[in-house]
Structure 1
Amino acid sequence: MSAEPGEANHDGGVLVLAATPIGDPRDASPRLAAELAGADVVAAEDTRRLQRLCAALGVRPAEGGRVLSYHDHNERSRTPELAAQVAAGARVVLVTDAGMPSVSDPGYRLVEAVVAAGGRVTCVPGPSAVLMALAVSGLPVDRFCFEGFPPRKPGDRARALAGLAAEPRTLVFFEAPHRLEATLQAMADAFGAGRAAAVCRELTKSYEQVVRGPLADLLTWSREHPDQVRGEITLVVSGAEPVAADPDEAHAQVARRVEAGERLKDAARAVSAQTGVSARELYAGYVHRPTS
C-alpha cells in the first residue's frame, strides 16, 4: 500500500525526526501532535519537556507505546536499542528540547545507525532557530553556513574562528549567554571589529530580541547590558568581503601578531585565512626575515 502525497506511510518501521517549537508552543504543527500520539516509541531529550509540550498540544505521547529518554549521556548506549526497534517495524519518533533533532542536538548517531541498517528515516519539519535568525538578521541569506557552538577553550575558539575569517558566506553560530562576550571578542579579533553581525536571543519567546551592528558595537552592548544577555542565543555574522591580497602587508600582519605574543603558526594561519596568502609562505617569511 502506498501513501498519498503528504500522508505518512505507516507500513514497516521508520525513524521520524520531529522538529519541536523553539519557544512558542503555538508553532507546533498538527502533524507533530499526530506523530507524538501515534508513535510506538517516542525518544525524547528531556521527557519532562516532552510532557509539557504534549500537554500544550492536548495529546498523550506514544499512547499505547513507550517514552524513552535519549540525550547526550545515553545516546551511544541507547542507539542500538532504538535502531533495532525501527528494524523490527516500530515507528520511532525522536524529539529534542527545541528545533530539529541531530542539528546541534542528539540524533545523528541514531540516523546513522538506521540508515546503515537499510531503514527508513523521515522528518516532521518545523521551527528552526538557524533559519529564523538568518531571516531577521538583516544580513545576506542567499548563501550561509551553520557552525554550531564555537569551541569553549579560548585557544581552540580563536583557531576555529581564524579558519573562518575569509569565509564569504553568512555564518550562523549558537552560543551560551555566559560565553557571549568572550565569543564576540574572539570574533572581532578574527573577523575584524567592523564586521556586521546580529545577536538573536529568545526567538519566538516573550523576550525575543535582535541586536544588530558591527561586532565592536555588539561586544560593547554585551558588556553594558549583562541583564539582557540571557536565554538561548543565535549569532549571525556577515561573510568576508573579497579583498585583493597584498603579500607585503600580510607578512607585516604576521610580524605584528607574533610580536604581540601570538604563536607564529597561529598567526600565519589566521592571516592566510584573511588574505589568501599561503600560510606556509607567511611562516617561512617570518622565520627567514632579515634581522638587524
Structure 2
Amino acid sequence: MKISGRTFVVSGGASGLGRACVQTICASGGHAAILDMNEDQGQALASELNNTSPNSAKFLPCDVSSTSSIADAVAAIVSWTQETGKPLGGIIPAAGVGNPGLILDKNLRAVDMESVDFVLGINLRGTLDLVRQVLPHLAAVSPAASDEDGERGVVIMVASAAAFEGQMGQVAYAASKGAVASMTLPMARDLSRFGIRVVTVAPSMFESNMTAHLSDKVRTGLKKAMEFPARPGRPEEFASLVKQAIENVMLNGVVIRLDGATRMPSKL
C-alpha cells in the first residue's frame, strides 16, 4: 500500500512511538489523525506538520479506554477524510501504559484490580475498541485502481517484548501485550476477505514517555540485557518498521520483534 494520499489513525500519536509514526506518515505524503489525551502536545504536533504540509495532520482528543470518546474521534476522522479526499489507509493503536505491580508483594498484599483494569483497559481493550470502530469505515474504502491485490488497508498493533519475557511486576502489562500479539493472526484471518492486513510490532525498550521515568539503576540493568545495539531503540526506528509494514503487502498475520536480540531477565 502506498502511504501517499491515504489517512492513518494513530492513537498515542502525540508522543513517543506514536508521534514518530505520525511524522513518518506525513513525511511520506500521507495524512495522520492524531489521537491522544495530551491536547497541548497533540495540537503542537499537528500545527508543526501542517506548517510543512497543509491539512496533513489533525489532532483529536481521545481516551481509548472510553468507547464513546473513540466514537466521537472516529466520526470526526471520517468527516475529515471526506473533506480532504484522502481515504482511510490504516489504524495504528499505539496508546499504552505500564503501571507495574507484583501480583503478590512481600507483605502478602495482592495486586489491586483497579491497577490491572487500568492497564488492560488501555493496552488491550483500548486497542481492540479503536480498531473495531475504525474497521467498518476502512472496509468501505475502494481499493486503488492500480492495486491488483485489492488491498483496502492495514492494522498495525503494538505489543512488547514483555509479551514473551515479562519481568517481575509485569503480570498485567505482559497479559495485555500478550493478548495483542495473540489476536494478530485471527484478526488477519477475519479481515482477509476485506483486503485488510494485520501486523503487530513487539518492541523491547524504546525511548518513550513510558521509559523516560526509569531510574539510572534500572536503565543500567536493562543495558546489560541488550546485545547489539547496546542502547534503547529510537522512535524513528520503530516508525521505519511501521512504514515497511504499511507498504509491504506480504506482511500479514505476523508479530515482528524489534529488540536488537534483547531477551529480558526475570528481574534487574
Give the TM-score of the pair, scaled to structure 1: 0.32
Rg comparison, structure with higher value: 1
Give the TM-score of the pair, scaled to structure 2: 0.34
